[in-house]
Amino acid sequence: QKEVEQDPGPLSVPEGAIVSLNCTYSNSAFQYFMWYRQYSRKGPELLMYTYSSGNKEDGRFTAQVDKSSKYISLFIRDSQPSDSATYLCAMRDNAGNMLTFGGGTRLMVKP
Amino acid sequence: DGGITQSPKYLFRKEGQNVTLSCEQNLNHDAMYWYRQDPGQGLRLIYYSQIVNDFQKGDIAEGYSVSREKKESFPLTVTSAQKNPTAFYLCASSFGRYTEAFFGQGTRLTVV
């Protein structure tokens, strides 16, 4: 079993929909959580960075961490075709060990 | 503009050759990383460096080598010992061990 699991998709939604992307993890020591967006043939771009549990909002994006369930989510409101990309979750533990990535979820937003 | 620059964007290598991928950052970050990404897969850590003149192996270091002579630079050499080098290589950096990482735009290496 991988340390971080992510449904590979593809997830196809109509423009304007609310998108929910999720990751589950097994290591209870993870404390720092990140979401990256990666367009085809490009490097990942950091979208959200959160510490421990709770919610964080930035524009149309909301990151949610539920440490008791070992589950993190990224919500995208009013999704746009330009949101079509692969979304990667990543996490770090308190010892500052290396980032552990999920395999990514491919999102397609159709006009 | 601050950022991470990887070069070249595309690289072709003949079997048996070593090639070096460049990664430069002007973000004043202490830590730098190299990842490999294969189609449909997540990122796998090759090497990382927390400070100048020090680096550690990641999960898939065999067939790769790095150096960290300057804070700004962390080149990756893909040696002929790497059995399956064709992949997308990503360099990243962070201020330290507890902060988020930022990525370059990647180098796509193809063995011909």
Element housing B54 (H / E): strand B54-57
Give me the sheet containing B19-25, strands edge to edge: B4-7, B19-25, B76-78, B64-66
Match 């979750």 to its residue by tokens.
A89
CA angle, residues B52, A49, B57, in degrees to nearest 5: 35
Q: According to the model, what pLDDT value does residue A70 have?
A: 95
Q: Kindly list the distances between the CA atom of residue A10 and the CA atoms of A7, A17, A108, B25, in Å, as whole numbers in the listed order.
A: 8, 15, 7, 33
Q: According to the model, what pLDDT value does residue A22 have?
A: 97
B13-69 pLDDT, tens digit each: 998 899 999 999 999 999 999 999 998 778 999 999 999 999 999 999 999 999 999
Please give the structure tokens belonging to residue B90. Answer: 């990503």
Residues of B in contact with A32 (CB under 8 A): 98, 100
Residues of B in contact with A43 (CB under 8 A): 4, 6, 90, 103-106
Q: According to the model, what pLDDT value does residue B1 have?
A: 62
Q: Tell whether B7 is within 8 A of chain A (Cβ).
A: no
Please give the structure tokens belonging to residue B29. Answer: 């970050």
Residue A66, min C-alpha distance to chain B (Å): 19
| Three-state DSSP state, A81 | helix
